[in-house]
Amino acid sequence: MKKSIARLLADIYRKVLEISQKSYRNGPLSIKKSKARVISVGNITWGGTGKTPLVAKLAGDLSASGKKVAILTRGYGKDEVEELKKKLPHVPLLVGRDRIKTAREAVEKHGSEILILDDGFQHIRLHRDLDILTINSTEPFGPGGLIPVGTLREPMENIARADLFILTKSDIGAKNVHWITQKIHEIKPTAVIFEAVHKPLHFWDPVLNKAVGFHDFRVKKVASLSGLADPHSFEKTVENIGIEIVFAGRFDDHHDYSRSEIDEFLKRSEAVGAMDIVTTRKDFERLAPFFERGLPANWKRFQFWVLEIEFQLNDEDEFLRRCVNS
């Protein structure tokens, strides 16, 4: 019964999506064009594809090359907004549901030449000059089809709208890269495909505000803490460094941590001998208020570490060239 209801909802979702998109392309609603170049970074599945690291990478590289860049985001994940602000303090970040409005503001107030549309694949009201689709190599298209049956936000055939495809976490999901590439080319034979990895750089100590290398951690037992759509990839990245995770605390994507939840997590970590806690930058943004107010006494026995990563593409020069010129 539950499955049949979910499939009915998926069919309704598909129909609403088709009507909505058709109304912009052929109906009374119109797609608005910005004076700036618009690059959309999005995905076709629900979360976990590495959009935010790519947005940060692209905005940082374009800004460093002398381009006036702004990021437009709906701001659904406050943790991601804070992460982008800290990584790119000199790049305007405009948060709002109305991307037409924030695009206009970026151009008029900041003189932006290039707008990066964060999570923009489904937002077709704003004309884009380049559509980038990120696909998680470890679980590319999810199970079951359209939400709520599966994790697809659109039917698979709609990936044909994309201009560039980025297969993220391609090292962890290496066994899938070939067939993902084949699947994309079946739908769009002319697709341009890049591969990318989340390269671990170092751990960051949020108390002492310093970076620490990985060498000493290879003899430690750690517990991982994450509220991600794809926690397995984070944990695999930690393990690939040579670090043993003896307990993994997993929460929903963008989860707002409570004091009692962390207390219980730390209690379970200590029970298996893990006094070092490894988390992501995105997760730390949700833990930061505890550190700012002063850690609870029982937390001070533990050492928290934030894994800093760098988003790396297999051909960054060619990728940037296409972002600027294609």
Could you tell me the mean pLDDT of each successive run of 10 residues in the chain, 326 residues long?
A: 74 81 70 95 91 96 97 87 94 95 97 96 92 96 86 94 97 97 97 97 95 86 95 95 96 95 98 97 95 94 96 96 91
For the record, the structure tokens of 105 come out as 């503001």
Residue 29 CA to residue 244 CA, distance in Å, equals: 54
User: In sequence order, what are the residues at sequence separation of 6 or more whose Cβ sits closer than 8 angstroms to the Cβ of residue 216?
Assistant: none
CA angle, residues 43, 254, 278, in degrees to nearest 5: 105
Q: What is the pLDDT of residue 34?
A: 96
Residue 170 CA to residue 159 CA, distance in Å, equals: 19
Question: Is the pTM for the entire model greater than 0.75?
Answer: yes
Structural domains of the chain ordered from first start: 2-11+23-198+312-325 (3.40.50.300), 199-309 (3.40.50)
Q: In which residue are the tokens 């052929």 written?
A: 26
User: In sequence order, what are the residues at sequence separation of 6 or more whose Cβ sits closer than 8 angstroms to the Cβ of residue 227?
Assistant: 250, 251, 252, 253, 254, 255, 257, 283, 286
Closest CA to 136 of 197, 221, 64, 68: 197
DSSP β-bridge partners for residue 118: 41
3-state SS string for the chain = CHHHHHHHHHHHHHHHHHHHHHHHHCCCCCCECCCCEEEEEEECECCCCCHHHHHHHHHHHHHHCCCCEEEEECCCCHHHHHHHHHHCCCCCEEECCCHHHHHHHHHHHHCCCEEEEECCCCCCCECCCEEEEEEECCCCCCCCCECCCCCECCCHHHHHHCCEEEEECCCCCHHHHHHHHHHHHHHCCCCEEEEEEEEEEEEEECCCCEEECCHHHHHCEEEEEEECCCHHHHHHHHHHHCCEEEEEEEECCCCCCCHHHHHHHHHHHHHCCCCEEEEEHHHHHHHHHHHHHCCCHHHCCCEEEEEEEEEEECCHHHHHHHHHHC
Q: What is the pLDDT of residue 2?
A: 64
How far from 251 is each of 118, 232, 290, 311, CA to CA, in Å? 23, 12, 18, 23
Q: What is the pLDDT of residue 71?
A: 98
For the record, the structure tokens of 120 come out as 């923009």
User: In sequence order, what are the residues at sequence separation of 6 or more whose Cβ sits closer than 8 angstroms to the Cβ of residue 166?
Assistant: 50, 54, 132, 133, 134, 135, 193, 194, 195, 196, 313
Contact yes or no for 121/43 (Cβ under 8 A): yes
How far from 22 is each of 27, 28, 163, 190, CA to CA, in Å? 7, 10, 20, 24
Preceding peptide of 148 cis, ω within 30°: yes
